[in-house]
A = this chain, B = another copy of it.
Amino acid sequence: MSNLLQSFIETNQPLIEQKMDLLIKELKVPSELKEAMAYSIQAGGKRIRPLYTLAVLEELNVQSEDAIVLASTIEMIHTYSLIHDDLPCMDDDDLRRGKPTNHVVFGEALAVLAGDALVTLAFGIIARLNRLTAEQKVQLIDQLSYAAGAEGMVGGQVLDMLGEGKHLTLSELEAVHVNKTGALLSFSILAGGIIANAPSEMMQALKNYAFHIGLAFQIQDDILDIEGTSEQLGKTAGKDALSEKNTYPSILTLDGAKVQLQNQYSLAIEALRTVGLHEGLLVEFANYITKRSN
């Protein structure tokens, strides 16, 4: 990771985590619910989505005190999706990042409700931001609803479930990822542009960058499952092949997946070049995402 990116993350990650803690802490709700919400919010993770929102603003030289709050709501939505995905009726995962999952600690009922509370809270917090215009807030909520909902993340999760045990084509696999993980990642990047009131050419470039970097992220995930060690990943390596999961390597071979990763990376950088952002944080993010080892 470059010094530029590392220093950006070291500065901003704690700010995001402190803001999320505060937003949960100030809720007037039953303590059991608050604990269940806080547990998963505090369970760590790379915080890539909220960091991306802040990185776009930094690149556009825009300061916004609402940005960290908005970024926190994206991580809340991401966290709610993990809590629900881990449920016994979904992926049935007992561990996430080495810690017991929400329903293991708080029971399934509270895990469902903690997720429900987080997604509902996110929209309210955006509506209550006090430095953005009402039009900006409406635009953010409009786009977040698409990204997180049936036509985005939730729909992608359904496609993923329906694809289990079937051989997907490359375009079917892409549809899973574009929706399941790409849509919210894209939103986190576009949100920076919306907050900065970026012109439409810039928004289009960010959209293209986000689309390609989202796919690159997923391809690298699939490659790491083959090439990484369990220690590096913090989860069992080689799980995809064992469960006959549809992945880029399973469809394209490992070498084919690496070519595809390089393609998506180049297209992402090319999108940045059209608006003069081909140096700096967004490139560093792309480098990190395609070269990370965990």
Interface residues of A (CB under 8 A from B): 27-30, 32-34, 37, 84, 87, 89-90, 107-110, 112-113, 115-117, 119-121, 123-128, 133-135, 137-139, 141-142, 144-146, 148-151, 154-155, 157-159, 161-162
A162 surroundings in chain B (CB, below 8 A): 30, 32
Pick the most buried of A128, A139, A155: most chain B CB atoms within 10 A of its CB.
Answer: A155
A144 surroundings in chain B (CB, below 8 A): 123-124
* Smallest beta-carbon distance A140→chain B, Å: 8
A116 surroundings in chain B (CB, below 8 A): 84, 115-116, 119, 149, 154
A27 surroundings in chain B (CB, below 8 A): 150-151
Are A87 and B110 also in contact (CB < 8 A) when A124-B141, A145-B124, A151-B27 are? no
Instruction: Tell me if B90 and A157 are in contact (CB < 8 A).
Output: no
* Smallest beta-carbon distance A66→chain B, Å: 13
Q: How far is the CA of A144 from the CA of B291 in the complex (A)?
A: 42
Instruction: Tell me if A127 and B141 are in contact (CB < 8 A).
Output: yes
In the complex, the chain B residue whose C-beta lies closest to that of A110 is: B158
Instruction: Tell me if A121 and B134 are in contact (CB < 8 A).
Output: no
Q: How far is the CA of A121 from the CA of B153 in the complex (A)?
A: 12
Q: How far is the CA of A134 from the CA of B138 in the complex (A)?
A: 6
Cross-chain pairs A/B with CB under 8 angstroms, 5 sampled = A120-B149, A123-B144, A127-B138, A127-B145, A134-B134
Q: How far is the CA of A33 from the CA of B154 in the complex (A)?
A: 9
Instruction: Tell me if B112 and A158 are in contact (CB < 8 A).
Output: no
Instruction: Tell me if B30 and A109 are in contact (CB < 8 A).
Output: no
Are A124 and B110 also in contact (CB < 8 A) when A116-B154, A138-B137, A151-B27 are? no
Q: How far is the CA of A206 from the CA of B137 in the complex (A)?
A: 27
* Smallest beta-carbon distance A77→chain B, Å: 9
Pick the most buried of A121, A128, A154: most chain B CB atoms within 10 A of its CB.
Answer: A154
Besides the contacts A119-B120, A127-B142, A134-B134, what 19 more A-B pairs have beta carbons closer than 8 Å?
A27-B151, A29-B150, A29-B155, A30-B155, A32-B162, A84-B113, A89-B107, A115-B116, A117-B154, A119-B119, A120-B154, A124-B142, A127-B139, A127-B141, A128-B142, A134-B135, A134-B137, A134-B138, A141-B141
Instruction: Tell me if B120 and A148 are in contact (CB < 8 A).
Output: yes
Are A117 and B155 also in contact (CB < 8 A) when A127-B138, A141-B123 are? yes
